[in-house]
């Protein structure tokens, strides 16, 4: 077994998650690093932020692989005084390259949404809106046995990383669920496809008020489904890290390369705590000045 170069690792990653599968607007690929530099240790993380950059350097990694691209919309200036510039400087000065595998890792089989739908208990899934497809965005599949919406949410909650926002669910706790649609990360552009798939529940992240409200209005006209489960964006994608790391390790090993792959220990969900208003004692929630609004 030999130590691969950065070029070898990038090649292996692109065999597993071909950049040709990335969406047009995406920026998956190698951001920085010397192609000939040896890579003995790699860190996998969801986000390329200062925390994960430092974690990679401090752990002696020569490559940080993140799901989210650092420079999605391009950059003209990267001084170390800027947020993204600081990340780039930390990595370059620490001798660590940066590679993003984003919508290509979403699309490919065994990708981000496969990890999410398996966490729901679905073992056979296919891309949303494409009955014959092998690759594509989101996944849909049937649970071996119908469960309640509450059971499904509890099952997910037991495997997702803990985050302040937890899970938000639309639908009755005892609603019956068999067909599950998922999209790791922000999936509120896929409601039409999810409805066309006759999914009983749609698990995704970052659902905003209006798309979620309109989806529920439509669902209530049609028996109530799809119910919605809204997770942390980070948590919905973090599930993929272990799988992606294992796939890369095996693929490199098949070529005679040995690397050590670590998973980030950082939770990069941006929220730290949440308060549910009906859990606040009445005295604490009363505004002594009065809001002036009658309810
Ligand atoms: Zn994402």
Mean pLDDT, residues 208-237: 96
pLDDT for position 113: 97
* 97-144 tens-digit pLDDT: 999 999 999 999 999 999 999 999 999 999 999 989 899 999 999 999
Same structural domain, 113 and 200: yes
Same structural domain, 258 and 190: no
| Residue 128 CA to ligand 1 centre (angstroms) | 17
pLDDT for position 97: 98
Q: What is the CATH number of the domain that holds 38?
A: 3.40.1390.30
| Residue 39 CA to ligand 1 centre (angstroms) | 26
In terms of Cα–Cα distance, which of 90, 91, 102 is closest to 32? 91
How many residues are present in the chain? 295
Note whether 254 and 229 are within 8 A (CB): no
pLDDT for position 78: 96
| Structure-token pair, residue 25 | 């607007």
| Residue 123 CA to ligand 1 centre (angstroms) | 22
Answer whether residue 1 is part of any domain: no
Answer whether residue 170 is part of any domain: yes
* 37-63 tens-digit pLDDT: 999 999 999 999 999 999 999 999 999
Integer CA distances (angstroms), 115 to 90, 193, 274, 276, 290, in order: 30, 20, 26, 30, 49
Grade residue 292 by pLDDT with cuts at 50, 70 and 90: low
Mean pLDDT, residues 229-243: 98
What is the helix, strand, coil percentage profile of the chain, to 5?
A: 35, 20, 45
| Residue 234 CA to ligand 1 centre (angstroms) | 7
Answer whether residue 134 is part of any domain: yes
pLDDT for position 281: 73
| Residue 8 CA to ligand 1 centre (angstroms) | 26
In terms of Cα–Cα distance, which of 15, 127, 27 is closest to 68? 27
Mean pLDDT, residues 32-37: 98
Answer whether residue 281 is part of any domain: no
Is 60 exceeded by the pLDDT of residue 288? no
Residue 28 sits in which domain range?
A: 6-105+237-263
Answer whether residue 295 is part of any domain: no
d(CA 156, CA 254): 33
Give the number of domains in the chain.
2
Same structural domain, 209 and 115: yes
Same structural domain, 74 and 174: no
Grade residue 200 by pLDDT with cuts at 50, 70 and 90: very high
Same structural domain, 159 and 67: no
In terms of Cα–Cα distance, which of 252, 261, 263 is closest to 2? 252
| Residue 237 CA to ligand 1 centre (angstroms) | 6
Same structural domain, 162 and 56: no
Same structural domain, 173 and 64: no
* 142-167 tens-digit pLDDT: 999 999 999 999 999 999 999 999 99
């Amino acid at each position: 077994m030999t130590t691969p170069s950065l070029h070898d690792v990038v090649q292996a990653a692109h065999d597993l998650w071909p950049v040709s599968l990335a969406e047009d607007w995406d920026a998956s690929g190698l951001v920085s690093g010397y192609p000939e530099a040896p890579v003995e240790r790699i860190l996998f993380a969801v986000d390329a932020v200062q925390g994960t950059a430092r974690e990679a350097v401090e752990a002696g990694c020569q490559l940080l692989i993140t799901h989210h691209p650092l420079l999605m919309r391009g950059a003209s200036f990267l001084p170390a005084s800027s947020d993204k510039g600081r990340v780039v400087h930390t990595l370059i000065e620490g001798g660590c390259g940066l590679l993003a595998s984003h919508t290509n890792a979403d699309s490919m089989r065994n990708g981000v949404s496969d990890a999410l739908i398996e966490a729901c208990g679905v073992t056979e899934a296919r891309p949303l809106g494409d009955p014959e497809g092998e690759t594509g965005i989101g996944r849909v599949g049937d649970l071996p046995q119908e469960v309640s919406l509450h059971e499904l949410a509890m099952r997910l909650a037991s495997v997702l990383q803990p985050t302040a926002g937890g899970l938000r669910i639309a639908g009755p706790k005892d609603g019956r669920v068999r067909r599950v649609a998922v999209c790791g990360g922000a999936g509120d552009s896929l409601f039409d496809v999810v409805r066309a798939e006759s999914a009983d529940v749609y698990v995704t992240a970052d659902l905003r008020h209006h798309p979620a409200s309109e989806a529920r209005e439509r669902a209530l006209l049609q028996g109530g489904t799809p119910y919605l489960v809204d997770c942390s964006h980070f948590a919905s994608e973090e599930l993929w890290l272990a799988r992606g790391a294992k796939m890369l390790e095996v693929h490199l090993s098949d070529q005679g390369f040995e690397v050590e792959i670590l998973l980030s220990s950082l939770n990069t969900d941006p929220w730290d705590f949440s308060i549910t208003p009906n859990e606040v004692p009445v005295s604490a929630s009363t505004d002594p000045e009065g809001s002036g609004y009658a309810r």
